[in-house]
Structure 1
């Protein structure tokens, strides 16, 4: 088993479930802090800025700084900076996290002749927004999505995720989006740059084969699937992309890794 110098963590199902931190994950993160091993929380959630995500984790008993969090909104802003001129006009469907990230990257916002249409989760999404977005894309605007998660888990069951909004814009515009978030590699590449970590010495940890583990495979990273969230051990047998490691939880994996060194 390799020794890793840095870690990328998914959040929901990996670090916490609902409003409660997973004890074994908390214990492992405390170990990393004690040993000064760098890590970053990487989330497809585009709705909140990193400061708000850090506040939520801190409230769960896991003290976190904004610099410890990397969101799909931040990755989308970084991607667009590579594609467009500074201060390029965008049409944005999204919430505070996405708008803030794009503002901080220097972009402007416009409904008429935007250079790109950017779609993140937006709980005020409506027909008018769909019409503006599809018209702009048909006129040549780049179509970019923060992530493609079709549904989101809540205490009341699954609710529509950003992928559902992206699907509506895709059908209305007749265009395929560029999706920045997991399982695509853009968010992982930008997260590694943000952390200053080497790809071959970094482990990606998540609970979802379809997003986290596929993101690691698409990015050339080793991966650990923890069975504290979405995917099960039985799912691993059926899924074409396998994790490098499989464990009931983060601390169990850590103990096993330590015991064989």
Structure 2
């Protein structure tokens, strides 16, 4: 087993499911803290600030501070800085997205934006989608925090950000730049935060199509944990396999 100097950890399905802590998650983080190994929680969820995400983890007994969390909103703000500098943004989303964009120095506007950024918005309206379409047709760049078509809730699978973005893409004919897993921008931001060579980092996740595929795209070793979305049976059907597979995180040894 390789000695890794840094960890990228998915949240839902890996660390917890809803309000339930999954086996081994809190203990893995405790062992990383004791070994002095840096880690980042990476999530496609654009709705929460890093402080809010860290607070939820802390309440579950998982050691976390805001600087341990990298959200797709933060990665979107970082992507815009790297590609365009500070820009005028029309943002469709929730608190986490607005917080990340303004903290990075971007200006939120409803008048002639340079960029339209769409994150999950559980108070979406036709007018918000219409405005996004008009701005994109007028030349604004089109960014989405993530392309998840559905999100798990207590009520079942609900429309995800990918469903909202699809309406805008269908109307405008313009495909967006996707920030979240499995695309590279989120892992790029997280890796920059760790400041380690990719050979020294492992990405841990439960969803083959987002987490594990993000590791493949970034050239990072991957650990598949079978506590979430992807089952062992589904995994056997995949052509490219993760570097490691465990039933839950109690089986994973932190090598120091």
Q: TM-score range by the shorter chain?
A: over 0.9
Q: Which whole-Å deviations, capped at 9, do the CAs of 1:161-192 have from their partners, x for residues lacking one?
A: 11111111111111000001100011101101
* Structure 1 counterpart of 2:60: 60
Contact 2:25 2:62 in 1 (8 A): no
**Paired position in structure 2 for 1:36:** 36
Mapped to 1, the partners of 2:137 and 2:237 lie a distance apart of 39
Q: 5+ residue gaps in structure 2?
A: none
In the TM superposition, 1:162-241 aligns within 5 A as 162-241=161-240
Matches for 1:1-261 after TM superposition, within 5 Å: 1-86=1-86, 88-254=87-253
Give CA-to-partner distance per residue, 1:7-48, whole Å, 9 cap, x none. 000000100111021131111111111111111100000000
Instruction: Give the C-alpha shift of residue 245 in structure 1.
Output: 0.8
Aligned residue-pair number = 256
1-structure distance, mates of 2:153, 2:60: 17
In structure 1, the gaps of 5 or more residues are none
My pick for the range that moved more, 23-32 or 173-182, is: 23-32
**Cα distance in 1 for residues equivalent to 2:55 and 2:111:** 36
Q: TM-score, normalised by structure 1?
A: 0.95
Residues 93 and 118 of structure 2 are in contact (CA less than 8 Å); yes or no, is this contact kept in structure 1?
yes
* Cα displacement (A) at 1:198: 1.8
The separation in 1 between residues aligned to 2:42 and 2:152, in whole angstroms, is 17
**What RMSD over aligned residues (CA atoms) do the two structures have, in Å?**
1.3
Q: RCO greater where, 1 or 2, for CA within 8 Å and sep 6 or more?
A: 2
Once the two structures are superposed, what CA deviation does each residue of 1:131-163 show, in whole Å capped at 9, x if it has no partner? Answer: 110111111110000000111111221111111
